[in-house]
């Protein structure tokens, strides 16, 4: 791990999935250029579910007492507040089902932000969010974080809609250390949950070693 990647991994608002053998095996499969699409989708979905479940660990809870079928009281907890998902189209849409699998009937907003491949500048084209999003905790979904431009633009859209920074949890599979640090510095309250931190980016602003274009591989639109 590079020194910059190590700096990201140690950041208090950056949460890396436990680096288990299972996770490493899953990530190896989806990084392999020879993995067929059906396997890429299946194993990506497994990682996405792990990420969503980890993200829920950072939501606030309140104490709650229930009675078990044995007639005995049990002191547990209940989530405080409501959540919603917001996917950054198109690749972020691949993470929606993983969120639905864990949170039934969850509301999901969508934001379309496209990056100019020459300048790497993000442009907002479309935004459709739940009307009460300002009162919810937001799981922001995008599998890859390179420069951070698109994710930062989306976080700005959320803030304009009334969402507080400390209610935004950005969930992604792979990030560059530059993009992660940029986003954490831009939004002092936001948290990031990721599966792995890569070494950096190439001259085209693609993550290295990365896994290629996630959206193309997931949705089968590769050239």
pLDDT of residue 105: 86
Give residue for tokens 């974080």.
145
Task: Tell me what percent of the residues of the chain surpass a pLDDT of 90.
Answer: 81
**Tens digits of residue pLDDT in 34-61:** 999 999 999 999 999 999 999 999 999 9
Query: What pLDDT was estimated at residue 28?
Result: 97
- C-alpha angle with apex 156: 193 to 10, nearest 5 degrees? 30
**pLDDT value of residue 119:** 66
- Looking at every residue in the chain, the average pLDDT score rounds to 93
Query: In this structure, is the dihedral angle defined by the CA atoms of residues 99, 100, 104 and 105, taken in order, positive or negative?
Result: positive
Are the C-beta atoms of 180 and 142 separated by less than 8 Å? no
pLDDT score for 120? 63
**pLDDT tens digits for 4-43?**
888 898 999 999 999 999 999 999 999 999 999 999 999 9
pLDDT band at residue 181 using 50, 70 and 90 as cut-offs:
very high
Q: Could you tell me which residues are beta bridge partners of residue 121?
A: none
Nearest to 49 by CA among 115, 103, 7, 12: 103
Say what the pTM is.
Answer: 0.92
Q: Spell out the domain ranges in the chain.
A: 4-219
Residue positions annotated with a catalytic role: 115, 119, 213, 216
**Backbone phi and psi for residue 103, each to the nearest 5 degrees, phi listed first:** -125, 100
The CATH architecture annotation of domain 4-219 reads: 3-Layer(aba) Sandwich (3.40)
Tens digits of residue pLDDT in 119-144: 667 888 899 999 999 999 999 999 99
pLDDT tier, 208 (very low <50, low <70, confident <90, very high otherwise): very high
pLDDT in tens, 50-107: 999 999 999 999 999 999 999 999 999 998 889 999 999 989 999 999 999 999 889 9
Higher pLDDT, 214 or 119: 214
């Amino acid at each position: 791990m590079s020194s910059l990647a190590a700096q990201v991994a140690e950041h208090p608002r950056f949460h890396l999935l436990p680096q288990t053998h299972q996770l490493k095996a899953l990530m190896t499969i989806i990084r392999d250029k020879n993995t067929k699409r059906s396997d890429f989708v299946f194993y990506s979905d497994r990682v996405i579910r792990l990420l969503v479940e980890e993200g829920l660990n950072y939501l606030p809870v309140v104490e709650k007492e229930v009675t078990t079928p044995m007639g005995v009281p049990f002191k547990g907890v209940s989530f405080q507040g409501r959540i919603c998902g917001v996917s950054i189209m198109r690749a972020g849409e691949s993470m929606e089902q993983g969120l639905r699998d864990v949170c039934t009937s969850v509301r999901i907003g969508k934001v379309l932000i496209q990056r100019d491949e020459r300048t790497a500048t993000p442009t907002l084209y479309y935004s459709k969010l739940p009307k009460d999003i300002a009162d919810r905790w937001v799981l922001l979904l995008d599998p890859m974080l390179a420069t951070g431009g698109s994710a930062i633009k989306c976080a700005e859209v959320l803030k304009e809609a009334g969402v507080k920074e400390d209610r935004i949890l950005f969930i992604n599979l792979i990030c560059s250390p530059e993009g992660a640090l940029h986003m954490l510095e831009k939004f002092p309250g936001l948290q990031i949950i990721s599966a792995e931190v890569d070494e950096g980016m190439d001259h085209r602003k693609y993550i290295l070693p990365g896994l290629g274009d996630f959206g193309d591989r997931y949705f089968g639109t590769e050239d």
